Homo-oligomer: A and B are copies of this chain.
Amino acid sequence: MTLGRPREFDTEAALTKAMRLFWRKGYEGTSLSDLTDEMNITRPSLYAAFGNKEELFLKVLDRYDRETSSFIQAALDAPSARSVAEGLVFGACAFHSDKHNPAGCLMVHGALVGSDESVAMRKETSLRRGGLKDRITQRLKQAQTEGDLPQSTDPAALAGYLVAVLRGMAVEAASGASPADLKGIATVAMAAWPG
């Protein structure tokens, strides 16, 4: 099978540890020593398994998109425009209220600012944030063609509003907002929904 000495740690478990660390401290705020301590591996093992800090962060982003913040895909699969919006904002409530998760959103504060060294990672998270807005816009356009959302509304504007609310909830969650606080935000936010 695989040649050479077998790896002594579980890469998936280690990736989870890394994700939670980046989630709490951001890309630049997380040092290699932080990572190796938390993942219980040595520095060369980390580089052999994940490349370098940037590649590790990218793998973490993939995992976050695919598994951790999966409530977003679930919301987009909801049957009506309103249920999509509700799924997003109330899904975000549940997401940020889950005590197993670090506070806030990895995409938002994981790499929003930083020194010139991390400009590539900021661009990456920015792209992924923009991708979410595009996906919501597409879903709302589909709702319009299905007669599910008034033709008078602007799907792009509604999507922009939704992602802004999601970002705001993430910032508030990172600042220590309670589940009740978040639910209040989501409830008021839905009052703006047409129809």
Contacts and interface: CB of A to CB of B under 8 A. Distances in A.
Interface of A: 24-26, 28-31, 34, 104, 108-110, 112-115, 118, 126, 129-130, 154, 156-158, 160-161, 163-172, 174-177, 181, 184-185, 187-192, 194
A127 to B, nearest CB: 9
How many copies, total?
Answer: 2
Given A24-B113, A29-B113, A172 B160 contact: yes
B113 A175 contact: no
A84 to B, nearest CB: 15
A25 B163 CA distance: 23
Contact of A163 (B108, B166, B172): B172
A170 B158 CA distance: 17
A76 to B, nearest CB: 19
A157 B25 CA distance: 29
Most buried by B among A29, A104, A113, A170: A113
